[in-house]
Chain A
């Protein structure tokens, strides 16, 4: 930091200079920022993944027409499809073709055409409008096809979504706890500094130094320390996030690949080191002012 930002108390060395790198504080701040950045990245990544999948699944249903009688199956399928197309709360009705069904079953049953030996259900994909009454729709479907089952995609995704949301919440909570731990460490570090320089501070006070100039000196020194630590921790965390992002992209699974960091997520990550420095400055000032308040 240049001399323009240096408070007078630092320029004239009211207190002995101490090399920040010789104390544990920059390393502790680096570790805290590293962990907090990862926590926030995990929280935002999982949150956006859950959000994206939730949006995809929201309103998606599949109606399975299960009818052992092969003569009745097409009739029921067409009747249900027609009913769905005429329903005001349903859109995007699409009857899956037999070839498409075979393709879906291929991983389990192989490529053989089993249509004659294995009774296959008919399947209809559809999308419900927001606020649609699924129970009413189920009753209407069952009236046309008593064996029909409605598979609400959001229903099976819900537990996964809940788990992911809880994990995201825990990650963000961990980041908040790390911030609290950082503040506590800054308080201890500042108190140690005050104790180390107790005699000098008393002399400065008796010569008429204001609390604010002593606090500014501590803030300035802590700002440098925190900035070094926060930058180191942040850069390391970004490297890890990019590495993990590349590995996740190779997995290609729904939730995992959807868990990417949006642009605003990167901007939010940048707030972690900035917030850590700001927190350290504020905590340090508060600690010095509170401690000095006890003196005359």
Chain B
């Protein structure tokens, strides 16, 4: 099977600083669910930045949707990005837009007809419990509501690849469970999901997930033990991660 993403000895540095990612090699198959774990500064967000095409690798070869990202022309990237949904750690909602318009943005950028946009957005806002706040500006929403809004925006266009950076950091355990359930459902429908998280208690909720630990910019367990950890009673690791 052609991998959705493949990293081959990938390195990343910002400017002239030391590398924040070193010798990253793994493959992400279509339909996989991957948890990225590791301490702060391990490189989880940097790895996600490569995946949502905010950066090109500074060395090595990174292939996404069959495209060599290091060599791809800029003009090819927007179409690839429209296949990716991202939940940013700091949400990055557009403050001048209402909750409805924020969620509608990926569909509108994708050129979806407005009638279809309205139906989809209303439904998803209802699902994340923000139907009554459809006209609210993000700055008037609580942290948890903003996070749910960011997640709604990330999944509205049914992306092929969903990336989430600490997506449950600001929500209560019940909502965290519901959001993870949403990710899981999308994954079951074929979306490849990558979640960077500190919340290790979430890992068992997706039994089929692969777990990859990063530490100081490197994959922490070259032999794969942590990426495919021995299954605790309720956890079943699956999916190849290299």
Contact = CB atoms under 8 A, between A and B. Distances in A.
B43 interface: no
A12 B96 contact: no
B94 A206 contact: no
B78 A8 contact: no
B82 A207 contact: yes
A293 interface: yes
A185 B228 CA distance: 59
Contact of B94 (A203, A205, A210, A213): A203
Contacts of A16: 96
B81 A12 contact: no
Given A13-B101, A296-B56, A207 B109 contact: yes
Interface string A1-15: 000000010001111
Contact of B105 (A199, A202, A207, A211): A207
B79 interface: yes
Given A13-B97, A296-B55, A206 B86 contact: yes
Interface in B90-119: 92, 94, 96-97, 101, 104-106, 108-111
Contacts of A211: 74
B53 interface: yes
B105 A200 contact: no
Of the listed residues A12, A200, A207, the one surrounded by the most CB atoms of chain B closer than 10 A to its CB is A207
Interface residues of B, number: 26
Contact of A208 (B74, B82, B92, B96): B82
B99 to A, nearest CB: 14
Interface residues of A, number: 22
11 contacts: A8-B108, A8-B111, A13-B101, A199-B92, A203-B92, A205-B78, A206-B54, A207-B81, A207-B109, A213-B109, A296-B54
Contacts of B33: none
Given A12-B108, A16-B96, A206 B101 contact: no
B199 interface: no
A4 to B, nearest CB: 15
Given A206-B86, A208-B109, A12 B79 contact: no
Contact of B52 (A200, A206, A209, A213): A206
Closest 3 CB pairs of A and B: A208-B82, A16-B96, A208-B81
B78 A208 contact: yes
A211 B109 CA distance: 12
Contact of A209 (B54, B101, B104, B109): B109
B77 interface: yes
A200 B138 CA distance: 14
A213 B92 CA distance: 20
A293 B73 CA distance: 11
Contacts of A93: none
Nearest to B106: A207
Of the listed residues A12, A208, A209, the one surrounded by the most CB atoms of chain B closer than 10 A to its CB is A208
A13 B105 CA distance: 10
Interface in B72-88: 74, 77-82, 84, 86
A208 B111 CA distance: 11
Interface in B142-173: none
A120 interface: no
A206 B53 contact: yes
A172 B120 CA distance: 58
Given A199-B92, A206-B54, 16 more contacts: A12-B104, A12-B105, A14-B105, A15-B96, A205-B81, A206-B86, A207-B82, A207-B105, A208-B82, A208-B109, A208-B110, A210-B78, A293-B74, A296-B53, A296-B74, A296-B77
Nearest to B97: A13
A296 B52 CA distance: 11
A204 interface: yes
A12 B109 CA distance: 9
Contacts of A296: 53-56, 74, 77
Interface in A1-60: 8, 12-17
A17 B105 CA distance: 16
Nearest to A210: B78
Given A13-B96, A210-B78, A296-B74, A204 B52 contact: no
A208 B77 CA distance: 7
Interface string A202-227: 11111111110100000000000000
